[in-house]
Structure 1
């Protein structure tokens, strides 16, 4: 029996993964990752890195981050505490959904994760105080390949649920998209 249910989104390859916790009066156990079971959802690489973020303040935005070729990465993003609005933007060159975005509410309660393929930008906004996330990455972070786009870029028209209360200087200084941006070649 699979510990996960996966759901397609309107963007090819981008999946919502729902964990199936097993619990009783003491609490629960929920599997975060299983290569055999997530293979069918598209995760077909080893985990190269696991990161944790803690964000203290409701309304904080982190993102939109990605790694350039040849260091593109898949991510599996789960919220372990609190609630977030998690957003992925398709940056794949020649994709029929190029520059389209999809958002999911992830929380400790709904046991959902977003499986983000290579060639996507990723970011989130906290919908509660004290949010904790865990990210599984298919490739290690490479500083020289790091890139980002502005979360409030008018090209994207992302519908953020809250006003931006907090954003890092680095994220606020990511470039805006323009007609010269052709996407990420995979």
Structure 2
């Protein structure tokens, strides 16, 4: 696997390094030892799948508050997404900055999101499926979100938002964010 750190410390784009032959290819998408060697949380405890019918669907910006902050490894297994991560760690030199990575079933890239960041995506194709590996169990009482269109961050989404849940549409703006809940 190839690990490339983004401008947000601890957030990595991870690429499969395929070994190809006449059958196709073989590649590793997860290795506890390699993740630990890069300082990434190697203890994944839960996997989730998100299936999205329509291009333009937006999910996010999600995170879990202390003490259940989660790291996650995100991969698009069908279709394509524009995956966004916002650094909401108050002590980080990239606090309030964001990065985006296009994850597709063809490029097989993954994004590792460390705890203390909010994440969300917009689908770039109909019938898109996303696979998440999580380093913390889901705790509904700790599930939080920030507005996808918050001007504090200025995230540039590639397409018009056509489908979004009521909770995602109504998340708080950053000005209402309680910084201490994410420390």
TM-score range, shorter chain: over 0.9
Residue 47 of structure 2 aligns with which residue?
A: 50
Residue 68 of structure 2 aligns with which residue?
A: 71
- Which secondary structure does the structure 1 equivalent of 2:175 belong to? coil
The superposition leaves residues 11-46 of structure 1 with CA deviations (integer Å, 9 ceiling, x where unpaired) of 111111111233444443332211012223332341
In structure 2, how many angstroms separate the alpha carbons of the residues matched to 1:149 and 1:82? 25
In structure 2, how many angstroms separate the alpha carbons of the residues matched to 1:138 and 1:27? 31
2:118 to 104, 118, 121: 121
The superposition leaves residues 45-66 of structure 1 with CA deviations (integer Å, 9 ceiling, x where unpaired) of 4111111111111111000000
Structure 2 alignment gaps of length 5 or more: none
Task: State the superposition RMSD in angstroms.
Answer: 1.6
Distance 1:156 1:36, change over 3 A: same
The superposition leaves residues 136-185 of structure 1 with CA deviations (integer Å, 9 ceiling, x where unpaired) of 11000000000001111111100000010110111011111117643654
Residue 175 of structure 1 aligns with which residue?
A: 172
Q: Normalising to structure 2: TM-score of the pair? A: 0.93
User: How far did 1:96 drift?
Assistant: 1.1
Structure 1 alignment gaps of length 5 or more: none
In structure 2, how many angstroms separate the alpha carbons of the residues matched to 1:141 and 1:156? 26
Q: Normalising to structure 1: TM-score of the pair? A: 0.92
